């Protein structure tokens, strides 16, 4: 591993902190712990992360002090270096399994890395007996996210009544398990069932899946997407099918104030035949439409967290790698990076890449183009499993009684269905 670590050191010497961290990631757990801690000191000094540098130096002498290692692991998690925290915290628990903070921080680090099955294994090995409530809850939660609802259900049944501070967490995993049971009746809930797990984990329906690269690592998600009027129209059509299959009849479409959201909201109103109105927090019996919730004013997003009777939140382009603070009730598609159809972009011309200016036409004109677009799905590369309208509506109809319950809390993990992404 010396060569690979030298690569990370070389990037650090060049001032490329991000590149250095990326080089460290695949080798962090193979390095002797003193070497890893030494490099963390170098990285922290270069990045002027004084607290991380201090905790790494405290852990360095022989890298066997469990409490010093726990503090270093904690700081790694806090600074977004959870992958480096994992071997540090594993060693802390190996030396002294009674350090409860080390267990909590290791589970947090594994969750950040989406290594939920490993989190379950750690909890089963090191949890206290009887288990502390938080450890028991984390066992349920990570069992669900690792794709094992049967174990999660058994552990949930044994979960004691929580203190007031933990009622929300208990109810959250309880709703996940109820949704998983309904979804399993019409869906496989395996490591390729993106729609089933999207609903189980977030409570939201996924309207469409990417028809490209399904078996090449994407499993229905998009990585980089140059969006189009056709994809927007396709998502709106699926939205209409979902509302019908679930027996939901919003009276209006509520327009959020930003231009992308207004364009999509106006198009949605035209396609579904609903009048539009300006969004008002707490509005009931309305369809709130967002293009990408991450760009909505945070003060408005907060008002969408708690559910209002009859209010349904539709987001066309849902980012799965950096979710918005609220999760949509229906998502048109899942992406990592998206360029809106009306946004400035680039195209390949005779002289290489050339700029394409943003579409500055009035919102109503762009919305009309979306409403008039051909919603026929892209056939893609032919490798994606078929997803006809009947498959989608059957799923919605079978799960509709468990839809629209609880707050719109996001899940910051892809869950059991993994997809490739740009680091």
Q: Are residues 225 and 96 in the same domain?
A: no
Better pLDDT: 12 or 2: 12
Give the CATH number of the domain where residue 352 resides. 3.40.50
Q: Are residues 107 and 231 in the same domain?
A: no
**String of DSSP letters for 189-219:** -STT-HHHHHHHHHS-EE----SS-GGGTTT
- Count of domains forming the chain: 2
Query: Residue 279: inside a domain, yes or no?
Result: yes
Better pLDDT: 353 or 28: 28
Q: What is the pLDDT of residue 259?
A: 98
Residue with tokens 């950040």: 112
- For 421: left if phi > 0, alpha if psi spans -120 to 50, otherwise beta; the answer is beta
Find all residues with CB under 8 Å of 373, minimum gap 6, and list them.
228, 229, 230, 232, 233
Distance CA 329, CA 410 (A): 11
Q: Are residues 204 and 316 in the same domain?
A: yes
Q: Are residues 362 and 251 in the same domain?
A: yes
- Distances 146 to 141, 151, 273 between C-alpha atoms, Å: 9, 10, 41
pLDDT score of 350 more than 80: no
Query: Residue 176: inside a domain, yes or no?
Result: no
Distance CA 37, CA 64 (A): 11
Query: Residue 209: inside a domain, yes or no?
Result: yes
Q: What is the pLDDT of residue 207?
A: 98
What does the pLDDT average to over 68-86? 97
pTM: 0.94
Using pLDDT thresholds of 50, 70 and 90, give the confidence band for residue 347: confident
Using pLDDT thresholds of 50, 70 and 90, give the confidence band for residue 3: low
Question: 212-269, pLDDT tens digit by residue?
Answer: 999 999 999 999 999 999 999 999 999 999 999 999 999 999 999 999 999 999 999 9
Q: What is the pLDDT of residue 343?
A: 96
Q: Are residues 233 and 353 in the same domain?
A: yes
The boundaries of the domain holding residue 77 are 2-113
% of the chain with per-residue pLDDT over 70: 99
pLDDT score of 415 more than 90: yes
Q: What is the pLDDT of residue 1?
A: 53
Q: Are residues 330 and 210 in the same domain?
A: yes
Question: 282-337, pLDDT tens digit by residue?
Answer: 999 999 999 999 999 999 999 999 999 999 999 999 999 999 999 999 999 999 99
Q: Are residues 80 and 199 in the same domain?
A: no
Q: What is the pLDDT of residue 130?
A: 83
Query: Residue 314: inside a domain, yes or no?
Result: yes
Q: Are residues 93 and 202 in the same domain?
A: no
E strand or H helix at 356: strand 352-356
Q: Are residues 98 and 195 in the same domain?
A: no
Q: Are residues 104 and 194 in the same domain?
A: no
The DSSP secondary-structure symbol of 166 reads G
Distance CA 317, CA 333 (A): 5
Distance CA 61, CA 38 (A): 10
Question: 80-92, pLDDT tens digit by residue?
Answer: 999 999 999 999 9
E strand or H helix at 11: helix 2-13
Residue with tokens 């409860």: 100
Question: 160-171, pLDDT tens digit by residue?
Answer: 999 999 999 999
pLDDT score of 51 more than 90: yes
Angle among Cα 109, 112, 115 to the nearest 5 degrees reads: 85
Query: Residue 145: inside a domain, yes or no?
Result: no
Q: What is the pLDDT of residue 156?
A: 97
pLDDT score of 43 more than 60: yes
Q: Are residues 253 and 389 in the same domain?
A: yes
Distance CA 249, CA 253 (A): 11
Query: Residue 6: inside a domain, yes or no?
Result: yes
Give the CATH number of the domain where residue 67 resides. 1.25.40
Query: Residue 411: inside a domain, yes or no?
Result: no
Q: Are residues 107 and 205 in the same domain?
A: no
% of the chain with per-residue pLDDT over 90: 91
- Supply the mean pLDDT for the chain: 95
Question: 358-408, pLDDT tens digit by residue?
Answer: 999 999 999 999 999 999 999 999 989 999 999 999 999 999 999 999 999
Question: 122-156, pLDDT tens digit by residue?
Answer: 999 998 878 899 999 999 999 999 999 999 999 99
Query: Residue 95: inside a domain, yes or no?
Result: yes
């Amino acid at each position: 591993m010396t060569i690979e670590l030298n690569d990370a050191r070389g990037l650090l010497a060049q001032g490329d902190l991000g590149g250095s961290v990326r080089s460290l990631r695949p080798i962090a757990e193979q390095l002797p712990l003193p070497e890893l801690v030494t490099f963390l000191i170098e990285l922290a000094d270069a990045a002027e992360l004084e607290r991380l540098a201090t905790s790494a130096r405290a852990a360095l002498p022989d890298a066997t002090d469990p409490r010093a290692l726990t503090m270093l692991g904690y700081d790694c998690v806090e600074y977004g270096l959870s992958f480096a925290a994992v071997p540090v915290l594993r060693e802390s628990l190996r030396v002294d399994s009674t350090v409860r903070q080390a267990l909590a921080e290791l589970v947090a680090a594994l969750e950040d890395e989406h290594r939920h099955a490993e989190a379950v294994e750690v909890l089963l090995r090191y949890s206290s007996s009887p288990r502390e409530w938080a450890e028991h809850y984390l066992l349920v939660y990570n069992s669900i996210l690792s794709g094992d609802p049967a174990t999660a259900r058994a552990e949930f049944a044994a979960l004691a009544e929580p203190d007031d501070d933990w009622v929300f967490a208990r109810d959250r995993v309880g709703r996940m398990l109820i949704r998983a049971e309904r979804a399993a009746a019409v869906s496989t809930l395996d490591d390729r069932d993106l729609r089933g797990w999207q609903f189980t984990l977030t409570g939201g329906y996924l309207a469409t899946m990417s028809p490209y690269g399904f078996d090449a690592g994407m499993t229905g998600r998009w990585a980089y997407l140059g969006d189009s009027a056709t994809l927007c129209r396709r998502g709106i059509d699926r939205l209409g099918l979902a509302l019908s299959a679930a027996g939901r009849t919003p009276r209006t479409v509520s327009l959020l104030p930003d231009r992308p959201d207004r364009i999509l909201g106006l198009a949605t109103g035209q396609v579904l035949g609903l009048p539009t109105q300006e969004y008002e927090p707490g509005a009931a019996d309305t369809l709130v439409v967002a293009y990408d919730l991450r760009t909505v004013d945070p003060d408005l997003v907060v008002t969408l967290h708690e559910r209002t009777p009859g209010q349904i939140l539709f987001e066309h382009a849902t980012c799965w790698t950096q979710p918005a603070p609220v999760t949509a009730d229906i998502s048109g598609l899942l992406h990592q990076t998206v360029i809106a159809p009306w946004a400035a972009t680039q195209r390949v011309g005779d002289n290489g890449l050339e700029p394409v200016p943003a579409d500055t036409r009035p919102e109503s004109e762009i919305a009309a183009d979306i409403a008039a677009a051909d919603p026929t799905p892209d056939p893609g590369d032919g490798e994606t499993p078929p997803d006809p309208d009947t498959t989608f509506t059957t799923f919605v109809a079978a799960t509709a009684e468990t839809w629209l319950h609880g707050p719109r809390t996001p899940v910051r993990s892809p869950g059991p269905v993994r997809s490739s992404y740009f680091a």
